[in-house]
């Protein structure tokens, strides 16, 4: 695709990347078949190819984008299914990130939209604020039906009861057990640590059990993905810099084997820090060092022979839901499935594994109607497998699916921890269901 950006704009590093992405697209349209919004809406403007064309026109024109272009950019999930499908290797991820930042800088949204986006960007990365908001949301939940669509979506997604914080989510050093194998940093995260603290707890237990010291760095926090996908570049870069500084400090103290991320949406962003700061001489080297160390939890665990000698005798059948950020963003599809099978679980995959569940960061709040349609589609596919439990590698997907699914939803690492000696995953405790009941009885004996 031809693109004519002014020479001044082309000199900016973001434009150079975007220009290359646009030029790489050969209009073949293969990506349309796997794009969730094209699947739902059937509109070329809501397809990857259509969006690339609109973004190209937006950059060529410069300045204020049209409301129509903003609508189609906003409807993109950033699921990156198109990246997995594209035979030409179009770098759609950086293109849509750049488009969102351009929209944020140049387009004045209606005030309710502005306020909501600002609120999400402030509250979600801040654990204390997010916890407070969820407490208020739990009180307001019974009145959700009476509220506007986006507020209703937020209230519905908020858990009825907030889990207690877990020490594994706080700054600390968790010592290795048995033979020492190495030292890792854990990104304890922001929203995940509040919504599902059991994920960090299971990760710390599992890595300690197989011989790793686990460090949660005091100055690290939100990876920046949430503001990044809202186009709020300066905020996301500030958060990323805090993490880079904190983790390089940990790496300088003693040898560090990996920075482990348990939310694949965050992992995709941390792995991209190197590209994010490539043109910044003050940060490029350290950012690249952090990205090189970043590993999804399943990616790192699959390198070890883990002794799955834990209690579960009657392991439930697991429907594995592959988060888009893991399969399309990081190219990791088989590792979690192989690990679960090695742990003794029967694993089944839903139809349309490549299609997003509609979570996509803050998408399920900002685009509730489309997100709800994708969630129903995904839940139906998961339930049709006949499995006992759903496993996913991203807390966003877990929250999105748990709202509608009759099946319990857990993180993959909770099952792996259970199978290697940890407790029954929280979502399986007290569940009815043949396999889970048999297991609960076996665990009590
Ligand atoms: S990122 Fe997902 S929603 Fe956006 S254009 Fe690509 S496939 Fe479609
Ligand atoms: S598959 Fe790739 S090259 Fe083909 S239209 Fe889509 S983005 Fe362009």
Separation of CA 420 and ligand 1 centre (Å): 37
Separation of CA 232 and ligand 1 centre (Å): 20
Q: What is the pTM of this model?
A: 0.92
Point out the ligand 1 atom lying closest to the alpha carbon of residue 93.
1
Separation of CA 360 and ligand 2 centre (Å): 21
**Can you give the pLDDT at residue 436?**
53
Instruction: Give the closest residue (by CA) to ligand 2 atom 6.
Output: 31
**Can you give the pLDDT at residue 149?**
80
Q: Is 28 in the pocket of ligand 2 (CB under 6 A)?
A: yes
Class of domain 7-106: mainly alpha
**Can you give the pLDDT at residue 444?**
47
Nearest bound ligand to CA 325?
1
Q: How many CB atoms lie within 10 A of CB 393?
A: 31
Instruction: Give the closest residue (by CA) to ligand 2 atom 3.
Output: 25
Separation of CA 60 and ligand 1 centre (Å): 22
Q: Is 77 in the pocket of ligand 1 (CB under 6 A)?
A: yes
Nearest CA to 325 out of 236, 398, 410 is that of 398
Collapse the DSSP code of 84 into the 3-class scheme (helix H, G, I; strand E, B; otherwise coil) and give the result: helix
Model confidence pLDDT, tens digit, residues 242-263: 999 999 999 999 999 999 999 9
For 332-349, give the secondary structure using H, E and C. Answer: CCHHHHHHHHHCCCCEEC
Q: Is 36 in the pocket of ligand 1 (CB under 6 A)?
A: yes
Q: Is 80 in the pocket of ligand 1 (CB under 6 A)?
A: yes
Nearest bound ligand to CA 72?
1
**Can you give the pLDDT at residue 110?**
95
* E-strand stretches of 263-337: 294-296, 318-321
The first and second tokens of residue 256, run together, are 């560090």
Question: Tokens 């005030």 correspond to what residue?
Answer: 111
Separation of CA 70 and ligand 2 centre (Å): 21
Return the C-alpha torsion angle 230, 233, 236, 237, nearest 10. Answer: 170
Q: Is 31 in the pocket of ligand 2 (CB under 6 A)?
A: yes
Separation of CA 91 and ligand 2 centre (Å): 10
Model confidence pLDDT, tens digit, residues 56-106: 999 999 889 999 999 999 999 999 999 999 999 999 999 999 999 999 999
Q: Is 325 in the pocket of ligand 1 (CB under 6 A)?
A: no
Residue to probe by mutation, ligand 2, list 23, 25, 54, 84, most atoms within 8 Å of CB: 25
Instruction: Give domain limits for the chain.
Output: 7-106, 111-157, 167-301, 318-444
**Can you give the pLDDT at residue 8?**
65
CA-to-CA distance for 142 and 302, rounded, in angstroms? Answer: 43
Instruction: Give the closest residue (by CA) to ligand 1 atom 2.
Output: 79
Q: What share of the chain is helix, strand, coil (3-state, %, to 5)?
A: 55, 10, 35
**Can you give the pLDDT at residue 116?**
93
Instruction: Give every residue of the chain whose pLDDT is below 70, as ranges.
Output: 8-9, 311-313, 431-445
**Can you give the pLDDT at residue 184?**
98
Q: Is 66 in the pocket of ligand 2 (CB under 6 A)?
A: no
């Amino acid at each position: 695709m031809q693109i004519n950006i002014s020479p001044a704009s082309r000199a900016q590093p973001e434009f150079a990347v975007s220009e290359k992405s646009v030029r790489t697209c050969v209009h073949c349209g293969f990506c349309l078949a796997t794009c969730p919004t094209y699947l739902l809406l059937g509109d070329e403007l809501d397809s990857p190819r259509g969006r690339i064309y609109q973004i190209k026109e937006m950059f060529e024109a410069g300045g204020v984008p049209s409301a129509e272009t903003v609508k189609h950019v906003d409807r993109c999930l950033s699921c990156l299914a198109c990246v997995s499908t594209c035979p030409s290797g179009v770098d759609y991820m950086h293109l849509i990130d750049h488009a969102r930042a351009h929209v944020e800088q140049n387009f004045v949204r209606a005030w309710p939209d502005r306020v909501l986006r600002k609120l999400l960007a402030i509250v979600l990365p801040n654990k204390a604020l997010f916890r407070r908001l969820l407490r208020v949301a739990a009180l307001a939940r019974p009145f959700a039906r009476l509220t506007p669509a986006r507020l209703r979506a937020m209230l519905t997604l908020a858990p009825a009861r907030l889990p207690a914080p877990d020490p594994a989510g706080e700054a600390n050093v968790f010592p290795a057990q048995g033979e020492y194998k190495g030292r890792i940093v854990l990104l304890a995260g922001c929203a995940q640590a509040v919504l599902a603290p059991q994920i960090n707890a299971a990760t710390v237990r599992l890595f300690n059990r197989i011989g790793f010291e686990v460090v949660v760095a005091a100055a690290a926090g939100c990876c920046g993905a949430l503001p990044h996908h809202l186009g709020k570049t300066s905020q996301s870069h500030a958060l990323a810099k805090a993490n880079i500084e904190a983790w390089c400090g940990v790496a300088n103290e003693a040898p560090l084997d990996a920075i482990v991320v348990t939310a694949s949406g965050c992992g995709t962003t941390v792995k991209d820090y190197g590209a994010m700061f490539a043109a910044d001489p003050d940060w490029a080297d350290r950012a690249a060092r952090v990205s090189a160390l970043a590993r999804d939890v399943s990616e790192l665990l699959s390198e070890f022979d883990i002794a799955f000698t834990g209690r579960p005798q009657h392991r439930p059948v697991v429907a594995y839901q592959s988060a888009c950020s893991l399969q399309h963003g990081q190219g990791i599809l088989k590792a979690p499935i192989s690990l679960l099978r090695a742990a003794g679980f029967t694993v089944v995959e839903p139809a349309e594994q490549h299609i997003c569940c509609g979570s996509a960061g803050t998408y399920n709040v900002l685009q509730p109607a489309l997100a709800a349609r994708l969630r129903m589609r995904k839940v139906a596919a998961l339930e049709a497998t006949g499995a006992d439990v759903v496993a996913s590698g991203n807390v966003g997907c877990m929250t999105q699916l748990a709202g509608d699914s009759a099946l319990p939803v857990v993180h993959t690492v909770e099952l792996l921890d259970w199978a290697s000696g940890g407790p029954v995953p929280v979502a399986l405790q007290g569940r009815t269901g043949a396999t889970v009941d048999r297991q609960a009885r076996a665990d009590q004996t």
